[in-house]
Amino acid sequence: MPARPFAAPLFSDAFFEGLSTSVRDFDTAETLPPACYVDADFYEFEKEAVFNHEWLCVGREAWVMEPGDYFTTHIVGEPVIVARTRANELVAMSSVCQHRAMLVAEGRGNTRGFLCPYHHWTYGLDGKLVNAPAMERTCDFDRASIALPRFKVEVWLGFVFINFDLEAQPLAPRLADIEAALAPYDLANAEGPPPDAPGKFPWNWKVMFENNNDGYHASRLHQGPLHDFVPSAQSVFPPAPEGAAGYLRFNGTLHADASFNVTQKALLPVFPGLTEVDRNRMTFANIPPTLSLVVTSDMVIYLILRADGPESHEMDTGLLFAPGAMRDPAFEHKLAMNMSAANAIIAQDLHVDGLVQVGLRSRFAVRGRYSWQEGAQIAFNRWLAPRYQAAWDQAKVGRTMAAAE
């Protein structure tokens, strides 16, 4: 990539000190350096700074309720299995066979264990190796010591989060504000079908996350009858507490129970616990680096972002409804009305996202300035920048120690 004039070289103290301007209040802040979105080395750095230690949403607990249920996914190049053991424990682990690295599971289903198709090593639902044929002549082969590497797992509001860092602190205590805001929707008991096949997008995961964050574009890019009832000027950004694992954005609506369809009103049953305040706004909850929730009175869209390269990611798009909503004989028709509008809006977003990535690659991309309607971008920067800085400091300590040896 050509060097940008005046840009501090990547992986220098000056570059990381320069991130401090992205965490100011909106009126003096500037956007992250474009290199954070396009540079392959920065992506490798970001894996360690963010993905190897943060809680990553991978799906819904409802997909694995019965013993033997499992689903697979992947994030930052790591193939993952989530399963329910015979002892009813929810587990998450690598699907990489400890023989010669074949993946022991694909898709989703119910199974007694994971049989690697290549040479038939067999693992239990808990990941322990239970059989390995024709290994009796192999010296010092200790079957009992071999298992699929396990990850930490936590369920929050019905969402399954994993953490590659076995020392990670629990997630839920750092989401108390978001949990309180979402309590009336009772998402742990909300219902919805598993998402369709993921979308694959040729742009950095943060471009997508920031688009989901962004109330500023609502009245501009999405101007028209499908979105005008959620005006950007009614954006509210509650400050995230110190150390919070996510942040909220509220957006007032021009009428109660607004919903993304051409009638602009909820067609499906409204979540039963909502207050008047809830019914007159939309709630956007963001838990970087993976989960983004779009919360309306009758439907929650959850977006699970799964980075898989410096300029690419996949995204699962799922839907949640009030308990019983899907039993309405007209459910499919009403949902089709919502999705018709949602898909028109999403198409506008995807068009922009793809071209933002093109722009970010340009030598003329700059660190831009923010509107007051972009408070959630500041919250995202305040989540990211300290993690980048900590990983940079850690890397420097490692280099200093290596040089001293």
At closest approach, how far in Å is the CB of 124 from ligand FES?
15
At closest approach, how far in Å is the CB of 11 from Fe ion?
33
At closest approach, how far in Å is the CB of 237 from Fe ion?
17
Phi first, then psi: give them for residue 372, nearest 5 degrees: -65, -20
Among 121, 250, 302, 392, binds ligand FES (CB under 6 A): 121
Binding mask 334-353 for Fe ion (x = CB under 5 A): ---------------x----
Among 86, 119, 333, 399, binds ligand FES (CB under 6 A): 119
At closest approach, how far in Å is the CB of 68 from ligand FES?
20
Among 1, 48, 118, 277, binds ligand FES (CB under 6 A): 118
Among 29, 75, 116, 378, binds ligand FES (CB under 6 A): 116
At closest approach, how far in Å is the CB of 331 from Fe ion?
25
220 binds, among Fe ion, ligand FES, none (CB under 5 to 8 A by kind): none
Residue showing the smallest CB distance to Fe ion in the complex: 349
Work out whether 74 is an interface residue with ligand FES (CB under 6 A).
no
Range 88-107, binding ligand FES (CB under 6 A)? 97, 99-100, 102
Which lies closer to ligand FES via its Cβ, residue 96 or residue 376?
A: 96
349 binds, among Fe ion, ligand FES, none (CB under 5 to 8 A by kind): Fe ion
At closest approach, how far in Å is the CB of 148 from ligand FES?
11
119 binds, among ligand FES, Fe ion, none (CB under 5 to 8 A by kind): ligand FES
Which lies closer to Fe ion via its Cβ, residue 84 or residue 222?
A: 222
Binding mask 295-334 for Fe ion (x = CB under 5 A): ----------------------------------------
Give the per-residue SS3 of the chain. CCCCCCCCCCCCHHHHHHHHHHCCCCCCCECCCCHHHHCHHHHHHHHHHHHCCCCEEEEEHHHHCCCCEEEEEEECCEEEEEEECCCCCEEEEECECCCCCCECCCCEEECCCEECCCCCCEECCCCEEEECCCCCCCCCCCHHHCECCEEEEEEECCEEEEECCCCCCCCHHHHHHHHHHHHHHCHHHCECCCCCCCEEECCCHHHHHHHHHCCCCCCCCCCCCCCCCCCHHHEECCCCCCCCCCEEEEEECCCCCECCCCCCECCCCCCCCCCHHHHCEEEEEEECCCEEEEECCCCEEEEEEEEEECCEEEEEEEEEECCCHHHCCCHHHHHHHHHHHHHHHHHHHHHHHHHHHHHHHCCCCCCCECCHHHHHHHHHHHHHHHHHHHHHHHHHHHHHHHHHC
Which lies closer to Fe ion via its Cβ, residue 186 or residue 349?
A: 349
What is the contact surface with ligand FES in residues (CB under 6 A)?
Answer: 97, 99-100, 102, 116, 118-119, 121
Which residue ranges make up the site for Fe ion (CB under 5 A)?
349
